[in-house]
Amino acid sequence: MTHRIVKISFAVLIVVICATGAWAGKKNIVYATSADVTTWDPSTSYSTELTYMINIYETLIRVNPPGSAEPFSYLLATGFTASDDGLVYTFHLRKGVKFHDGTPFTAKAVKLSIDRTSRLGQGAAFIWKDLEAIKIIDDHTIRLIMKKPVPVPQIAASAYASYIMSPSVVDKNSAWFDEGNECGTGPYRLENYNPGESMMLTRFKDYWGGWEKNQPDNVLVKMSWDSLVKLQMLQSKEAAIVNAIPSDSYKSVRDGRDTQVVYGPSYINYLLFFNTSRAPLDNVKVRQALAHALPYKDMIDVAFAGKATQPRGIVPKGQFGHDENVRQYCLDLDKAKGLLAEAGFGGKELKLVMSYCGANQAEARMAPLLKDQLKKIGVDLQLKPLSWPAQWEEGKRAEKDGQDLFFLMWWPTYSDPYETLVSLLGTEEKTLWNFAYYSNPAYDALIRKAYETVGSDMDAALKMYVEAQNIIQDDMPAVAVADAKTAVPALRNLDNIIVNPAYPGGLFFYDMSLK
């Protein structure tokens, strides 16, 4: 069985959403969020649909949150072994698992899913770049043979590009998935999808993990880009959980009788890219000047109510690769003005355009601060708020004639810094995430060497990752402005909300319970 798109009528939605006492009761929850869907294709998904994908599809294993007794939990795999040289990994697969269409889960599905993702080569498919071959040993044993000793467990647990889908859908194209079709093994099915407005996730009764009485049966996702509206939905109990509220409301929600805020670690950070492909930001001194002019503390206070820290480099705090030996830029307007003078722009006004996601509350709050601050060094910054899909598409094609500065909220795909370092600032033939349009072969080679070393010598790999980040600090194609912490506003009757930084912003509805 596949699930065709079903548009919920406005009248039905009103009935469902307003009936908070009846529908949104013991077994159902409403999630209000601005996290839209860029694609439903499990092979190419690489954006804000993460929460929905991790509830519909599963990976072989999952990275556990910091502080857990074990580094991984087992999902579609029950264990794995590795050869001494780190080139061969054998995964033992869970028996008795069904896809949403009733197809039994076997090693064939793993091979076909990874093959499809690798063949399409989109999104985060690069994580399989070092895969040499996949061998099916039997129905419940599969072997991954690698070209280099890269961190396969982290790849297999990736937030993107490691989802396993039914063999019945591997020949479908992205357009088919984007109509609202899916076929995973996860605890929830996509029952209805109304693009840009709503979706319904419903319990998959044959889920291999089984069900307990207090787990949510249905999750109605309501799209809202207004943080105040989401606050009102939470306070009126129209929504049980939301992805963001006004930053000055977190304290009152945290202390509320019926509301709570669940805090946790995060690998989410915010970065500002400088367009190195054209003047004036093709001049490294201009880029360094801007980095010295940013009001880091004020941005963190205003956008995150202090619930963030100033980064050291572009690897998020808490993730392997973040290190105190990475140099940090600090606010110094005199130095910024001096660098502009050295670049030949002393006393001259620079006109620059910065794009950002208007629905992202943190970016929307930081943008005016940046505009006002850069005036002090003679930069006239034009602000260009866009929807995230529009900003991303413009950035991917705007190297020569688009924005000068690009604001980005980033989170890594898997728990190794290589993905962040290569995706954001590695040389790209076709732009996907490198909105600085930066290319440095020495940097590319260094991070690749670190990646191939991490499986055998983590200390040596860390030194290389630190050196690579200091290259970026010198060249300054992008500056990280905030390492955010996770804060999840919810009703107090929603329990066991797990914050897992390896899946930034992701919510595992199956783990939740309603009191």
Please, which contacts does 297-301 make with residues 24 or more away whose CB atoms are closer than 8 Å?
Answer: 297/331, 298/369, 298/373, 299/365, 299/366, 299/369, 299/370, 299/481, 299/482, 300/482
The rounded distance, in Å, linking the Cα atoms of 106 and 108 is 5
**Residue 173 in this model has a pLDDT that exceeds 60:** yes
Angle formed at CA 110 by CA 106 and CA 116, multiple of 5 degrees:
135
Q: Please answer whether residues 315 and 465 qualify as being in contact, where contact means their C-beta atoms are separated by less than 8 angstroms.
A: yes
Q: What is the pLDDT of residues 113-149, one digit of tens each?
A: 999 999 999 999 999 999 999 999 999 999 999 999 8
Count of CA atoms in the C-beta half-sphere (13 A) of 239: 26
Q: At residue 90, does pLDDT exceed 90?
A: yes
Residue 11 has pLDDT above 80, yes or no: no
Query: Which of 268, 271, 266, 225 is CA-nearest to residue 433?
Result: 271
Which two three-digit tokens encode residue 168?
């019945």
CA 185/CA 89 separation, integer angstroms: 23
**Residue 216 structure tokens:** 């949510």
So what's the pLDDT on residue 21? Answer: 47
449 three-state secondary structure: helix
Confidence band, pLDDT 50/70/90 cuts, at residue 413: confident
Q: What are phi and psi of 514, to 5 degrees?
A: -100, 125
Q: How confident is the model at residue 23 (pLDDT cuts 50, 70, 90)?
A: low
Note the pLDDT tens digit of each residue in 295-314: 999 999 999 887 899 999 99
Tens-place pLDDT, residues 443-497: 999 999 999 888 778 899 999 999 999 999 999 999 999 999 999 999 999 999 9
Cα Rg, the chain, nearest whole Å: 23
